[in-house]
């Protein structure tokens, strides 16, 4: 018993000693922690960095930024990184607006749009378009941090009719199918504001152009038909487009739903991940369309050091795995852990070189011309100077190149358009300086009439240019039959300054009369196109600035076709009087 008693006493002493030891260790650990905390440099104020990116990549960026910032320091400062969602089109519009520029079809930025320190757009096409508009607005180049190839998304039962998954599909295959099978319904997200839509538009339009072979007329017709087919199935938002795919596998559902649309590989992966009634096939068609490549653009120099340090961490397997979990590939085209590879997908992909910026804007102007419903009065100068030959057009006259531009432009307008044709000079119709050839009416019923009228136009050899009186008369004519829901506009093509021997309106009188006539509830765009180097550009700009619209000048009349398309595209910019 005594031994057990001593043992118990020894045990109690040992417990006390152990507790004391633990207490000492705790105190020492706390002291060491305090020593470490206060002997090391203070964190100081947090260095902040904001990153704006599309919803597609935000989850991976947030996770990586949080992980990196927990151990990162800049000098004595910790790093606080905010990653937020921002529509690339809105950021692009905001950056363009800062430089007093506008991108075709993009319009104004959302009033809540933030310009971040680092902009991760979904495609380099945005940087290219901005750089072409204003070289200072964005960096000339930016490193890609992720990749999602553009595919043709197609319900699997329909894809099998194209030979999927065994056969390699080409864009010409699709063009041929669309041209011969009315059951094939093509969709697209508005390409002027969506990179997947733009990439698909560029590739499909090029394939259609090539389908015309060496015949320029056939090539133009094929490309126009393709653009019209896309326009008929366009959606403003990607989510809306996805809802158009068939919700059932029976013949009725398949024929009533969307057949095919250019989308990102990620969009197809995420759609199928929701277990839809009909899965989508991802067709990796040739030639490859411009992929979403997620460029990392540092805007400004004040946060460049932090931004560039974070960028280094985005070139890691850890970030690639985070991308893979949300259906994106690494910048080199390889997939990280968790990536759900679609059937028949290449193991690795590389971003294709984006097309020339001028080609992009040129195609978007055509797209705008086709897609915006319009009611337009075309007014063409037939004064004597329109007989002058154009050396760069093989000796064709100014009148001839202008009429050819008008004919080509009209070929882009579908039957939903309303169009009228006037000509003007001096004393063309009694005492009037202008003459109506075709009243404004639907092209569905008077396309042939308009084309015939263009073919009969001849310059008045000794005629002058009563420009101001004609503009006012045309404005009133368009206003009289105004149609809501359409872009009501006047397009005047002239090669000279106002020159009316009978007097007529002065510039100041014209502007005053236009302002007095204008009705804010019935906005009318006045689009003036100057042909050659003798136009009164300054006076023309005063008119369009005052009443709303735009002035375009083609010093080389041979370029009037390109200028005509740019002018038509203005209808989507919402020009207002200044």
Q: Report the distance separating Cα 436 and Cα 438, nearest Å.
A: 6
Other C-beta atoms within 10 Å of 279: how many?
A: 18
* pLDDT score for 29: 42
Does the pLDDT at position 575 exceed 90? no
Residue 505 has φ and ψ, to the nearest 5°, of -75, 145
Of 34-38, 415-419, 513-517, the range with the lowest mean pLDDT is: 34-38
CA distances from 357 to 131, 475, 513 (A): 9, 35, 40
Which residue has better confidence, 451 or 183? 451
Of 484, 446, 450, 467, whose CA–CA distance to 526 is shortest? 467
Q: What is the pLDDT of residue 570?
A: 66
* All domains in the chain, ordered by first residue: 47-147+293-325 (3.40.190.10), 150-283 (3.40.190), 372-572 (3.40.50.410)
Mean pLDDT computed over 512-533: 93
Count of CB atoms within 10 A of residue 274's CB?
Answer: 8
Per-residue pLDDT tens for 386-420?
A: 999 999 999 899 999 999 989 988 877 878 899 99
Give residue 503's pLDDT: 87
- CB distance 382 to 428 below 8 Å: yes
Which pLDDT score, from 0 to 100, does residue 82 have? 95
In this predicted structure, the answer to whether residue 44 has a pLDDT above a threshold of 70 is no
Contact 326, 59 (CB under 8 A): yes
pLDDT at residue 65, as a whole number: 95
pLDDT tens digits, one per residue of 293-342? 999 999 988 889 999 999 999 999 999 999 999 999 999 999 999 999 99
Alpha carbon 305 to its chain's center: 31
Q: Tell me the mean pLDDT in the region 148-168.
A: 92
* Among candidate residues 317, 325, 267, the one with its CA nearest the CA of residue 291: 267
3 state DSSP class of 429: strand
Task: Give SS3 for 468.
Answer: helix
Selected residue with higher pLDDT from 396 and 486: 396
Per-residue pLDDT reduced to its tens digit, 198-211: 999 999 888 887 77
* Higher-scoring residue by pLDDT: 350, 129: 129
Q: How far apart are CA 570 and CA 548, in angstroms?
A: 11
């Amino acid at each position: 018993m005594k031994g057990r008693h001593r043992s118990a006493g020894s045990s109690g002493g040992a417990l006390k000693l152990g507790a004391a030891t633990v207490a000492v260790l705790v105190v020492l650990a706390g002291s060491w922690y305090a020593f470490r905390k206060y002997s090391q440099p203070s964190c100081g104020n947090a260095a902040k960095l904001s990153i704006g990116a599309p919803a597609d990549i935000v989850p991976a960026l947030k996770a990586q930024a949080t992980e990196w910032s927990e151990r990162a320091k800049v000098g004595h400062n910790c790093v606080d990184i905010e990653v937020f969602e921002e529509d690339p089109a809105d950021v692009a519009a905001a950056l363009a607006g800062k430089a007093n520029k506008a991108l075709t079809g993009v319009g104004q930025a959302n009033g809540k749009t933030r310009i971040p320190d680092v902009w991760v757009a979904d495609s380099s096409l945005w940087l290219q378009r901005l750089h072409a508009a204003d070289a200072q607005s964005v960096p000339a180049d930016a490193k890609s941090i992720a990749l999602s190839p553009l595919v043709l998304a197609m319900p699997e039962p329909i894809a099998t009719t194209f030979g999927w998954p065994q056969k390699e599909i080409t864009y010409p295959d699709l063009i041929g199918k669309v041209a011969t099978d009315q059951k094939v319904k093509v969709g697209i997200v508005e390409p002027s504001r969506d990179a997947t839509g733009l990439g698909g538009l560029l590739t499909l339009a090029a394939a259609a152009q090539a389908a015309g072979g060496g015949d320029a007329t056939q090539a133009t017709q094929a490309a126009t038909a393709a653009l019209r087919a896309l326009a008929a199935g366009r959606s403003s938002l990607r989510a809306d487009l996805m809802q158009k795919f068939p919700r059932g596998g029976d013949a009725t559902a398949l024929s009533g739903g969307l057949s095919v649309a250019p989308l990102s590989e990620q969009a197809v992966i995420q759609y199928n991940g929701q277990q839809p009634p009909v899965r989508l096939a991802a067709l990796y068609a040739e030639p490859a369309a411009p992929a979403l490549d997620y460029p990392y653009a540092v805007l400004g120099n004040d946060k460049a050091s932090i931004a560039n340090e974070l960028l280094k961490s985005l070139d890691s397997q850890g970030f690639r795995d985070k991308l893979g979990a949300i259906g994106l590939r690494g910048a080199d085209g390889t997939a990280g852990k968790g990536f759900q590879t679609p059937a028949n997908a290449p193991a690795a992909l590389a971003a294709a070189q984006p097309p020339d910026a001028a080609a992009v804007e040129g195609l978007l102007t055509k797209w705008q011309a086709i897609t915006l419903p319009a009611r337009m009065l075309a007014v063409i100068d037939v004064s004597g100077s329109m007989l002058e030959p154009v050396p760069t057009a093989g000796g064709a006259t100014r009148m001839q190149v202008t009429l050819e531009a008008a004919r080509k432009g009209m070929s882009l307008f579908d039957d939903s358009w309303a169009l009228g044709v006037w000509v003007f000079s001096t004393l063309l119709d009694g005492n009037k300086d202008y003459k109506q050839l075709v009243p404004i009416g639907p092209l569905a019923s008077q396309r042939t009439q308009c084309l015939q009228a263009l073919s009969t136009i001849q310059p008045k050899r000794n005629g002058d240019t009563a420009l101001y009186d004609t503009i006012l008369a045309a404005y009133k004519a368009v206003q009289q039959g105004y149609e809501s829901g359409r872009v009501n506009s006047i397009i005047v093509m002239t090669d000279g300054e106002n020159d009316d021997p009978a007097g007529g309106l002065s510039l100041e009188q014209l502007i005053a009369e236009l302002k007095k006539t204008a009705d804010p509830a019935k906005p009318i765009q006045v689009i003036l196109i100057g042909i050659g180097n003798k136009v009164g550009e300054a006076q023309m700009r005063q008119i369009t600035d005052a009443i709303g619209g735009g002035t375009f000048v083609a010093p080389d009349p041979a370029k009037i076709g390109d200028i005509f398309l740019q002018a038509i595209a203005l209808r989507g910019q919402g020009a207002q009087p200044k």
